[in-house]
Chain A
Amino acid sequence: EAGVTQFPSHSVIEKGQTVTLRCDPISGHDNLYWYRRVMGKEIKFLLHFVKESKQDESGMPNNRFLAERTGGTYSTLKVQPAELEDSGVYFCASSQAGWGGEQFFGPGTRLTVL
Chain B
Amino acid sequence: GEDVEQSLFLSVREGDSSVINCTYTDSSSTYLYWYKQEPGAGLQLLTYIFSNMDMKQDQRLTVLLNKKDKHLSLRIADTQTGDSAIYFCAEVEGFKTIFGAGTRLFVKA
Contacts and interface: CB of A to CB of B under 8 A. Distances in A.
Interface of A: 4, 31, 33, 35, 40-45, 48, 55-56, 59, 91, 93, 99-100, 102-108
Given A102-B48, A105-B35, 4 more contacts: A33-B96, A42-B100, A42-B101, A108-B42
B96 A45 contact: yes
Bin the interface of chain B by size: 20 to 34
A42 B102 contact: yes
Interface string B1-42: 000100000000000000000000000001100010000011
Contacts of B41: 107
Contacts of A108: 42-43
Contacts of A41: 101
A56 B96 contact: yes
A106 B42 contact: yes
Interface of B: 4, 30-31, 35, 41-45, 48, 88, 92, 94-102
17 contacts: A31-B95, A33-B95, A42-B4, A42-B101, A43-B43, A43-B99, A44-B99, A45-B98, A48-B95, A48-B96, A56-B94, A56-B95, A100-B30, A100-B92, A105-B42, A105-B44, A108-B43
Nearest to A41: B101
Q: Tell me the interface secondary structure of chain B in the complex.
A: strand
Given A100-B30, A102-B45, A106-B42, A42 B95 contact: no
A41 B99 CA distance: 10
A98 to B, nearest CB: 10
